[in-house]
Structure 1
Amino acid sequence: MKKLIIITSIAFFMVACGGGAGSDVKPTTDPYDTKATTESGNPSYDPKRGEGKFTKVEVGASLDAPMATNGEKVFGVKCSGCHKLSDEKLVGPGWKDVTKRHTAEWIMNFVTNTDEMLNKDPKAQAQLEICLVRMPNQNLSDDDARSLYEFMRKNDGIK
């Protein structure tokens, strides 16, 4: 029985640590690659480098109350476990004045395409360095993301 355990362990070790055919495969894309560079050859800062489909979000001067009410429900279910409505950090940053710090497009791209934004966007990466926890993808629909943004506006005092 001991021989069987030893042989099995050695075989497992060889398979797990072996080079195999795929060991020299390199990633096909670099998430930090950018075409624009500085004189030193380093990538230049591009605040719009993140990923997402929202390029222009129409935001009215006044609050859309029904949309904000729906956004509050989304917050209660998907966001309140990690975010506070004040400036206090819980797991993630507090939401006070978030609509003053970020554009509607950036916020909606971040909440609907979190992983790509954290991989590519400098502002999202800076926030990750502070929070030390990646925001999970909440699988928000576009409508839920827009409602959530309107609730953020309400939280920031827009009437």
Structure 2
Amino acid sequence: MKKTVTMLVVALSVGWYGCSSDGAKKRADEAPTDPAAVVSQDEVHGTEVKEVTLSTPLDGAMVKQGQGIYEMKCSSCHKLDETRLVGPGWKGVMSRRKPEWIMNMILNVDMMLEKDAEAQKMLELCLVRMPNQNLSEPDARSILEFMRMNDGEK
């Protein structure tokens, strides 16, 4: 019994210390101080994509990577045909949207929903805000290449 009470007191003390401001300050002091090692979220996302260069023929490695990302992160909301699931179907997206628009919708969904009238119309239609999937620009480019293949480009 005495052992149990002692262990409980130790566990509560450790938990309390970890949540106290001194514990948080100590952990903040242990964080890397090299500014080059710290990457802000704005550096990863939030930079508008202004130009996308498409190649012909399609890049097979990018298509394969894009398909994998689609299956893991996109397929629960988007179908590859015209059917709207949660979000719109992807069939024909390359004829409806510019590559830059698609890349920005993937990478900067908050900015697009705030500023872009077409993105706002899609939100009104689908009633569900597209989540930020925290993808890199190369990942988004691979998804774009997969979309091109899905639309029949070679």
1:99 aligns with 2:94: yes
2:97 is matched by which residue type in structure 1?
H
1:87 aligns with 2:85: no
Paired positions, count? 109
- Shift of residue 86, structure 1, vs aligned partner: 0.4
Name the one with the larger helix percent: 2
- Shift of residue 104, structure 1, vs aligned partner: 0.6
SS of 1:116's equivalent in the other structure is helix
What is the aligned partner in structure 1 of residue 130 from structure 2? 135
Structure 1 segments of 4 or more deviating over 3 A?
Answer: none
Distance 2:53 2:115 in 1: 25
1:112 aligns with 2:112: no
Query: Compared with structure 1, are the counterparts of its residues 102 and 52 closer, same or farther at alpha carbon in structure 2 (3 Å cutoff)?
Result: farther
- Shift of residue 52, structure 1, vs aligned partner: 4.6
Q: Percent identity?
A: 54
Distance 1:105 1:59 in 2: 11
Distance 2:138 2:74 in 1: 16
User: Equivalent residues in 2 for 1:1-159 (5 A)?
Assistant: 52-159=47-154
The CA deviation string for residues 109-147 of structure 1, in whole angstroms up to 9 with x for no partner, is: 110011110111001001111101100100010000000
Question: Unpaired segments of 5 or more residues in structure 2?
Answer: 1-45
- Shift of residue 53, structure 1, vs aligned partner: 2.0
Query: Compared with structure 1, are the counterparts of its residues 56 and 110 closer, same or farther at alpha carbon in structure 2 (3 Å cutoff)?
Result: same
Question: Unpaired segments of 5 or more residues in structure 1?
Answer: 1-50
Distance 1:52 1:155 in 2: 27
1:112 is matched by which residue type in structure 2?
L
What is the aligned partner in structure 2 of residue 15 from structure 1? none
Please identify, of 54-63 and 134-143, the stretch whose mean Cα deviation from structure 2 is larger: 54-63
TM-score (ref. length: structure 1): 0.67
- Shift of residue 61, structure 1, vs aligned partner: 2.9
